[in-house]
């Protein structure tokens, strides 16, 4: 299916979580392999957004994991990922984030997306995309959408749950959309009818203020241009903070390879710190990371980044050389 031959059916949702939920309900009711008796199951990266499993388990859809992240290299474990998706049953539903992955900060390269799309076509998998941070990786919203265009152009069945909360700075307004590309107008009309019924049953009506803001900005050439510039500024600021932290750790001669800080992208980074190190950061230095080791790059600023770097250096050295403390 080319971009010009198909139709995209879209419904507003309560943020990205609402879009994921609506997509899960839609598949639960209408995905043909599941309706024909195949076990309802989705495949999700082992390292993913913590709410992904909840969305599906709430609907009694089974969840299985596949490898995504390599702690050794601080990057996508692509060979393991590709092999795993090549070995799961045909027509499986696979959840993937598009760009600026939460929590790892590790995205697939364009070449890896190309290779992975071959697996999807060969196996007939359904791609369940989560696009919460478009533009946060490259600084360009359209560039970060490249995997979506690739899958649409190759006719791979898919849907996409998108959030506007982060990219427009209106998180509390809960504005998202669920989009389903379809190959014909007839199928699109049927899907739209079911999506309207689902939206009516789920929420009745959607928040109008945030959606009006998004529509007004994207519908005005000057405002849209300013928004794209602001988005690029934010992405560059995140990259700058990553580089600053890496530079400070290098100056401190902190043990380990911290280059992953600048190869990962977006708001978050997987530090590889152990739970003991994370507890020590909290209790001794009042630096707070998730138990997984996820660090919020957006939480770093000129007032705290030096303290964060010194704190990381201290806990790494403490656990590497405990006898000296």
Strand (E) or helix (H) holding 295: strand 294-296
* pLDDT at site 72: 87
Q: Is the pLDDT of residue 325 over 60?
A: no
Closest CA to 256 of 234, 245, 278, 272: 272
Secondary structure of the chain: what % helix, strand, coil (to 5)? Answer: 50, 15, 35
Specify the length of the chain in residues. 325
DSSP for 86-138 reads HHSPTT-EEEEE-SS-TTT-----HHHHHHHHHHHHHHTPEEEEEES-TTTTT
* SS3 call for 302: coil
82 against 172, higher pLDDT? 82
* pLDDT at site 205: 81
pLDDT above 90 covers a percentage of the chain that reads: 85
* pLDDT at site 321: 58
Band of pLDDT at residue 310, cut at 50, 70 and 90: very high
* Beta bridge partner(s), residue 12: 177
Identical fold, 8-217 and 223-320: no
Q: Are 95 and 130 in contact (CB under 8 A)?
A: yes
Distances (CA, A) of 61 to 16, 225, 261: 19, 41, 35
* pLDDT at site 198: 87
Domain boundaries, the chain: 8-217, 223-320
Distances (CA, A) of 183 to 60, 91, 113: 29, 18, 22
* pLDDT at site 241: 97
Cα angle 141, 267, 250 (rounded to 5 degrees) comes to 120
> Mean pLDDT score of the chain, rounded to an integer?
93
Both tokens of 76, joined, read 């996508």
CA–centroid distance for 270 within its chain: 14
Write the class of the CATH domain 8-217: alpha beta
* Beta bridge partner(s), residue 159: 128
pLDDT digits (tens, 9 = 90+) for 187-232: 999 999 998 888 888 887 888 999 999 999 999 999 999 999 999 9
pLDDT digits (tens, 9 = 90+) for 108-148: 999 999 999 999 999 999 999 999 999 999 999 999 999 99
Q: Is the pLDDT of residue 272 over 70?
A: yes
CATH number of 223-320: 3.90.1150.10
* pLDDT at site 323: 44
- If you search the block for the tokens 């109008």, which residue do you land on? 208
* pLDDT at site 240: 97
Closest CA to 305 of 255, 260, 263, 252: 252
Distances (CA, A) of 14 to 77, 79, 193, 195, 299: 32, 35, 19, 14, 25
pLDDT digits (tens, 9 = 90+) for 225-252: 999 999 999 999 999 999 999 999 999 9
Q: Is the pLDDT of residue 1 over 50?
A: no
Band of pLDDT at residue 6, cut at 50, 70 and 90: low
């Amino acid at each position: 299916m080319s971009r010009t031959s198909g139709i995209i059916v879209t419904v507003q949702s309560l943020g990205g979580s609402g879009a994921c939920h609506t997509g899960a309900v839609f598949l639960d009711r209408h995905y043909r392999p599941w309706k024909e008796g195949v076990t309802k199951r989705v495949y999700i990266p082992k390292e993913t957004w913590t709410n992904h499993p909840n969305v599906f388990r709430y609907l009694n859809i089974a969840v299985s994991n596949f490898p995504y992240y390599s702690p050794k290299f601080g990057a996508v474990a692509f060979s393991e990922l590709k092999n795993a998706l090549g070995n799961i049953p045909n027509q499986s539903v696979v959840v993937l984030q598009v760009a600026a992955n939460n929590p790892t900060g590790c995205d697939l390269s364009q070449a890896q997306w190309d290779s992975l799309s071959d697996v999807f076509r060969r196996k007939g998998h359904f791609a369940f995309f989560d696009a919460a941070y478009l533009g946060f990786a490259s600084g360009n919203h359209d560039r970060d959408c490249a995997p979506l265009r690739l899958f649409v152009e190759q006719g791979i069945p898919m849907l996409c749950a998108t959030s506007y909360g982060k990219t427009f700075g209106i998180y509390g307004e809960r504005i998202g959309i669920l989009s389903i590309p379809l190959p014909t107008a007839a199928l699109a009309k049927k899907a739209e009818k079911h999506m309207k019924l689902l939206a009516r049953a789920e929420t009745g009506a959607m928040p109008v203020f945030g959606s009006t803001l998004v529509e007004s900005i994207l519908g005005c050439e000057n405002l849209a241009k300013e928004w794209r510039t602001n988005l690029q500024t934010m992405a560059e600021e995140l990259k700058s903070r990553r580089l600053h932290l890496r530079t400070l750790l290098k100056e401190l001669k902190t043990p380990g390879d911290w280059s992953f800080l600048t190869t990962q992208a977006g708001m978050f980074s997987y530090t590889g710190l152990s739970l003991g190190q994370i507890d020590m950061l909290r209790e001794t230095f009042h630096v707070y990371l998730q138990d997984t080791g996820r660090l919020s790059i957006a939480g770093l600023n000129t007032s705290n980044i030096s303290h964060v770097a010194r704190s990381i250096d201290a806990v790494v050295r403490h656990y590497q050389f405990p006898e000296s403390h």
